[in-house]
Amino acid sequence: MERLQKYMARCGAASRRRSEELIAEGRVAVNGKTVTELGFKVAEGDSVTLDGKTLLPESRKVYIALNKPVGYVSTVKDERGRKTLLDLVDVPERIYPIGRLDYDTSGLILLTNDGEIYNKVIHPREEKNKVYIALVQGILSKEEVRSFETGLEIEGYLTSPAELKTKRILGRNAEIEITIHEGRNRQVRKMCEKIGHPVITLKRVSIGRIALGDLPAGKWRYLTEKEVEQLK
């Protein structure tokens, strides 16, 4: 027996957290009966459907690194008709992104059909560092860097310790490298805004030990076995 949301993640339907949302929305049925209880457990031989489609465990787990360009949403479907990650990655498995990048942010994003690995990347306690390169307005002072690194109060929460390095000065602007392990919505942009240096461009270049490297914008690759082990 295993929890329904865990089974759904194992089938590649969605992450555990998203599976819980799908269950609560009444879109999941077990043996023909709609289930909305998050603690519901399924046994071997049970029939599980999502929106009427049968879910079966994925026989092949895939792990993909994509260099997302600006102008794509970090989902597999968009109600507004915008371009999604699946316009860039075409594989037979049903995959979904691990975490998100903003519409106007580019860089490294991971996709998989392995629901077990989701929290290994996005949960703060795992402390998977995420590194970004940003072009920001203005030149940062030592005091501004210190406040950025020690924690900023944003929308009622205090950000965790971070790192910020100025890489080079470009006229009146600065190119900086930011390292965080949190993943709140538009966090890097909000942190830069908080210290008075709005982001002009933003790109994620690594997650943990997985680096974007020279992967061209809009292209993807499978993770190596070593990279997958590092995630796990």
Active site residues: 102
DSSP 100: -
Burial of 140 (0-12, 13-18, 19+ CB in 10 A): buried
Burial of 23 (0-12, 13-18, 19+ CB in 10 A): buried
Residues pairing with 67 in the sheet: 108
Torsions phi, psi of 35, nearest 5?
A: -120, 130
- Which SS3 state, helix, strand or coil, does residue 116 take? helix
Q: Give the integer Cα–Cα distance in Å for 32 and 14.
A: 20
Q: Give the integer Cα–Cα distance in Å for 133 and 18.
A: 29
Who's near 130: CB < 8 A, 6+ residues apart?
179, 180, 181, 183, 204, 206, 207
User: CA 8, 15, 104 angle in degrees (round to 5)?
Assistant: 145
Which residue type, as a one-letter code, is found at position 213? G
Who's near 51: CB < 8 A, 6+ residues apart?
27
